[in-house]
Amino acid sequence: MSFFHPRHHNNMPQAQRTPQLAQNLIQNAIGAEVLAKLIELGIALSGEHNRDRLMERILLAAKELTHADGGTLYVLHDPENLGFAILRNDRLGTAMGGTTGKPITFPPLKMYKPDGKQNINNVATAALNLRKVINIPDAYFATDFDFSGTKIFDHNTGYRSKSMLAVPLFDHEGDGIGVVQLINAIDPVTREVVPFNDNIVPMIESLASQAAIALSNDKLMLEQRNLIDALVRMMANAIDRKSAYTGGHCNRVPIIMNMLAHAACDAKNGYFADFALSEDQFYEIQVAGGLHDVGKVVTPVHIMDKGTKLEKICDRIDEIRVRFDLMHRDAEIEFWKELAYGKNKDVAASILAAKKAELDSDLAVIEKCNIGSDHLAKELQEKLKLIKTKTYLRDGKLCPVITEDEYNNLSIVYGTLNNNDRKVINDHIVVTIEMLQSLPLPRNLKNVVEIAGAHHEKMDGTGYPKGLRGEEMSDLARMMCLADVFEALTASDRPYKAPKTMSESLGILVNMVKEHHIDGEIYRLFLESGIWRDYGAKYLRPEQCDVADISGYLQQITQSKAA
């Protein structure tokens, strides 16, 4: 493109200066307008993160700059297939792909022929294979390309495909990524179809370069997201292989989190009236939820899946049962000895029966205590304390029926974990934070550590590992706290407990609100939005879903807040 230069102008004869000046001014004006559009488009492309809108911007800009009636943006799906991404034609009123929601059903163009040679018969694949712009004045008179399909299309639609311009797109490494193909340049004055002006080709190449950079960046971002998704799946699968119930937990917590976040965004009044999340923040929820228990990869299985209080590598209740078998045997031996010494058989039998009944009763107490529960009854605690004082004979020595360590484990009041076990379990969140902090997470995932790392914190600051108070946590982190608890309460795949019903779970959560362990506003949102009902219908057993009216729970939250 030529631009006006004073020195060139002064060397011209006077007769030529005025027309030449006018022409240069027109060209300068057109060039400046096109340049301004390219700069504007470059800024727009760099800030566009929606792939469909990005591709539409590229094609529509190319159509505008060339005054093309139609155009297609192809994207290279793999080395062999050039697929349709966006298709537009003004005269035919065709708009497919991208944000239209109308899928393009045309099969992809083949980059290679069956014999392995490059496909240069199709103008789009030829542009990419030959790495050059192809400008065709009239497709009906082109001899280098096969336009038989185009002619059939024209015959069926009454369209006349004439001028064509195919511009290949290459990424920063020089690899082909797509093609912009334009059809039928329209003269702005006569509205006739004309060939694409060679002067506009450098501008379209400049646009193609900007478009390629934008598409390449988008591809890199997509690959980055796919890598992160694969990492989350890999860690979830690793945990699942180690502990199936933990893997299930990591899959379900993000579901509850996502439901809470959407409900908060939809809220029209109350605490969440102004709440809003971006697409990146919703993605943060997904990643944080999937990785919130990743630290459990280092937690010993016999603690993570501790189904009973005596379980380690194996359940030590079997060792105690062997001891009771020995005591039964010793009681029977004593019975026969008494008979041998002439003791009355009925008296001896009565003593034996009483002894066996006592042993069976003691073993039943131990077995009952071994099962985790919400609360170990005081009566069982007292009976266990008495059993601890009893002994049996082994290898000529008196040994305790239950050891000190066994007694300490059997005396656990809540669940199956003793203090040491719980410390090991609690350490998983520290490991989770350390693992996530070690990752070079991109800026759009900067809050993953905060969200995932806070799921055992409490509103009153008594949680762990940092003892954060509610005001020190984001809304999403507090949502994570509730999602983690609710899933744990209702889960039916835990080896150490039976699943809670919905009424039990909602009641426990109310108490946790009263005790300032979970956030009351988030629990209110959980109830009023119907998340409890929708989640229950899809993920819980039918017998767990025993709640129809939540007004009582809401009333308790309101009373708790007033108090």
Give which of 1, 417, 39 is closest to 197, Cα–Cα: 1
User: Which residues, at least 6 apart from 386, have a Cβ–Cβ distance to it below 8 Å?
Assistant: none
Q: Kindly report, residue by residue over 264-308, the tens digit of the pLDDT.
A: 999 999 999 999 999 889 999 999 998 888 877 766 666 555 556
Phi, psi of 38 (to 5 degrees): -65, -40
- Looking at every residue in the chain, the average pLDDT score rounds to 84
Angle separating helix axes 475-490 and 244-266, nearest 10 degrees: 130
Asked whether the beta carbons of 476 and 261 are under 8 A apart, the reply is: yes
Q: Kindly report, residue by residue over 120-153, the tens digit of the pLDDT.
A: 999 999 999 999 999 999 999 998 899 988 999 8
Equal fold, 50-219 vs 243-298+432-562: no
Q: Which two tokens stand for residue 203?
A: 């501008």
Tell me the CATH class for 50-219: alpha beta
| Cα 14 versus chain centre, distance | 72
Q: What is the pLDDT of residue 239?
A: 73
Q: Which two tokens stand for residue 262?
A: 């959407």
Q: Which two tokens stand for residue 417?
A: 């974990």
Buried b (16+ CB within 10 A) or exposed e, 384-406: beebbeeeeeeeeeeeebbeeeb
pLDDT at 27 over 90: no
Q: Kindly report, residue by residue over 197-256, the tens digit of the pLDDT.
A: 888 878 777 777 777 777 777 777 777 888 888 888 887 777 777 665 666 888 899 999
Asked whether the beta carbons of 28 and 4 are under 8 A apart, the reply is: yes
Q: Is 59 exposed, middle or buried (0-12, 13-18, 19+ CB in 10 A)?
A: buried
Report helix, strand or coil for 81.
strand
Give which of 22, 27, 29, 38 is closest to 2, Cα–Cα: 27
Tell me the CATH class for 243-298+432-562: mainly alpha
Distances (CA, A) of 36 to 43, 62, 169, 213, 345: 11, 14, 22, 19, 114
Spell out the domain ranges in the chain.
1-47, 50-219, 243-298+432-562, 317-416
Longest dimension (CA), the chain: 150
pLDDT at 47 over 80: no
Phi, psi of 50 (to 5 degrees): -90, 120
